[in-house]
Amino acid sequence: MLSLFFLILYIPAVMSSSSQMAGILPQDPALPIGSTLTATCSVSPDLGLHASSLFWSLNGRRLPSSSYSVLSPTALSVTLPGLPASRQRSGDNLVCHNHGGHVLAGSCLYIGMPPVKPVNLTCWSRNTKDLTCRWAPGGQGETFIKTKYTLKYKLRWYGRERECEELNAAQPYSCYIPRDLALFTPYEIWVEATNQLGSATSDVITLDILDVVTTDPPSGVSVSRVGDLEDHLSIRWESPPALKDFLFQAKYQIRYRLEDISDWKVMDDVGNQTSCRLAGLRPGTVYFVQVRCNPVGIYGSRRAGIWSEWSHPTAASTPHSERVLSGSCDSKSGDSNSTLRRELKQFFGWVRNHAYGCGGMSIKLYDQWRVWMQKSHKTRNQVLQGDKS
């Protein structure tokens, strides 16, 4: 009884020198999913424990004794068939306990898959100075065990193989090469994935830095009204400063949208100007505008580059229509029927000019306006036909 008491006191201290008191083999193995593992817990005879009094647990759950096998008075094994993938990256905890539940020894299992060939390797250079590459892990994307991805590159016709060192913890499948890149000569680039169960290499891509150049978005984007024109906005920007020393042609793209609508309208044919005018816009409305740049023909390369990010959205509003008086005959703002609104604006404008104010507002006045509109239409059409002849 007394010896049992001492044992209970002694056992928690076992871990301090567990390598001598008890141990599990294999220690920290890496295995493919579905494997069968047989592990053995060996206890020192000094502990005075018999193997049949021990039990196993995996990730906190006790394993059935039917899977145990007493190899000797101081060694108990367990067989684990069809192991599933590891629950956490730090490994599954396979633990050997004494009958009281105290931990005698542990081994961490790494159950996963060898890496699949990485795919979709793409690279781009910012202003010809650096190279960023990104890839995807291939297969289902998860190996369940720690897998190292190394981006390698070399000049195609000469030079030694080099490794990209600047991995990004926030973006695990990307790497950054900050300097010392040659131009006008192709690179071969690929990704190697390695873990304890195997390795795989992506397809090699070949590129010249000058063919994958992108740049910063245009700077100084400003949007302003064009005098009183209620359906125009003028956009100005500056070419990205980083490329001012390079021989290139930039082409630009503009996109704009109404404040409360998420769909953008894109203007493709902006060419290499640094200003543009938008027309046919809605009066009295806020628009968001963005511009982006593509460096075309860097150092004589004929290819287009890669579009930059869009500039920060710049907002501006078109002027309200001048014909609407404020405070007298304005229709309610927020009227959703835009045709009616436009007609009303025209009516109020006519009233102001022809009926000297809104004092005698009546349906008769509205009818008079309608008649006037028809007459003036006819006159306008006749004038046009006259012009054509």
Partner 1 sequence: MSGHVKNMCPQLTISQAARTLLSLLLVAAIDSVSAAVVCRKQPCGSSLQRSLKLTKLIHKESVDLLKTYKVSQGDMSELFCQMSINNVPDPNISGLDPSERMLSIYSHCKAFLPHLKRVTEQQTDLQPPSSSLLSKLSTAHNRTNGLANQINCIYQTLFPNLPIPPEPVDGPTSVPPSQNVFQQKVYGCVVLKRFKEFLSRVTRELRTLKSQVCTRRTTFADTNALF
Give the residues lining the site for partner 1 (CB under 8 A). 12-16, 18, 24, 27-28, 57, 59-61, 87-93, 95, 101, 103, 105-108, 146, 169-170, 172
The residue among 105 and 276 lying less far from partner 1, judged by its C-beta, is 105
Q: Cβ of residue 171: shortest distance to partner 1, in angstroms?
A: 10
Q: Cβ of residue 25: shortest distance to partner 1, in angstroms?
A: 11
Q: Tell me how far apart the alpha carbons of residues 143 and 150 are, in angstroms, rounded to a whole number.
A: 16
The DSSP output letter for 334 is T
The residue among 23 and 240 lying less far from partner 1, judged by its C-beta, is 23
Q: Cβ of residue 4: shortest distance to partner 1, in angstroms?
A: 19
As given in the structure block, the two tokens for residue 62 are: 């006790």
189 to each of 122, 222, 268, 301, how far by Cα in Å?
Answer: 9, 40, 33, 21
Q: Cβ of residue 106: shortest distance to partner 1, in angstroms?
A: 3
Is the CB of residue 40 less than 8 Å from the CB of residue 71? yes
The residue among 24 and 213 lying less far from partner 1, judged by its C-beta, is 24
Q: Cβ of residue 194: shortest distance to partner 1, in angstroms?
A: 15
Q: Tell me how far apart the alpha carbons of residues 379 and 373 are, in angstroms, rounded to a whole number.
A: 10
Q: Cβ of residue 112: shortest distance to partner 1, in angstroms?
A: 13
Q: Which residues pair with 255 in a beta bridge?
A: 266, 290
Q: Cβ of residue 93: shortest distance to partner 1, in angstroms?
A: 5
Q: Cβ of residue 53: shortest distance to partner 1, in angstroms?
A: 18
Q: Are strands 229-238 and 275-278 parallel, antiparallel or unpaired?
A: antiparallel
Q: Tell me how far apart the alpha carbons of residues 75 and 155 are, in angstroms, rounded to a whole number.
A: 57
The residue among 146 and 156 lying less far from partner 1, judged by its C-beta, is 146
Q: Cβ of residue 236: shortest distance to partner 1, in angstroms?
A: 42
The residue among 89 and 129 lying less far from partner 1, judged by its C-beta, is 89
The residue among 24 and 193 lying less far from partner 1, judged by its C-beta, is 24
The residue among 77 and 143 lying less far from partner 1, judged by its C-beta, is 143
The residue among 85 and 258 lying less far from partner 1, judged by its C-beta, is 85
Q: Tell me how far apart the alpha carbons of residues 206 and 204 are, in angstroms, rounded to a whole number.
A: 7
Find the helix packing angle between 363-388 and 338-354, rounded to 10°.
90
| 3-class DSSP state of 126 | strand
Q: Cβ of residue 192: shortest distance to partner 1, in angstroms?
A: 18
The residue among 171 and 379 lying less far from partner 1, judged by its C-beta, is 171
For 238-299, the DSSP string reads E--GGGTTS--EEEEEEEEEETT--PPEEE-TTTT-SEEEE-SPPTT-EEEEEEEEEEESGG
| 3-class DSSP state of 352 | helix
Phi/psi zone of residue 143: left (φ > 0), alpha (ψ -120 to 50 degrees), beta?
alpha
Count other Cβ atoms within 10 Å, centred on residue 378: 9
The residue among 85 and 296 lying less far from partner 1, judged by its C-beta, is 85
The residue behind tokens 């029927």 is: 337
Q: Tell me how far apart the alpha carbons of residues 76 and 362 are, in angstroms, rounded to a whole number.
A: 103
Four-CA torsion 56, 59, 61, 67, nearest 10 degrees: -40
The residue behind tokens 């306006």 is: 369
Find, among 286, 369, 357, 351, the residue nearest to 320 by Cα.
286
Q: Cβ of residue 193: shortest distance to partner 1, in angstroms?
A: 15
The residue among 27 and 67 lying less far from partner 1, judged by its C-beta, is 27
Phi and psi torsions of 290, nearest 5°: -135, 150
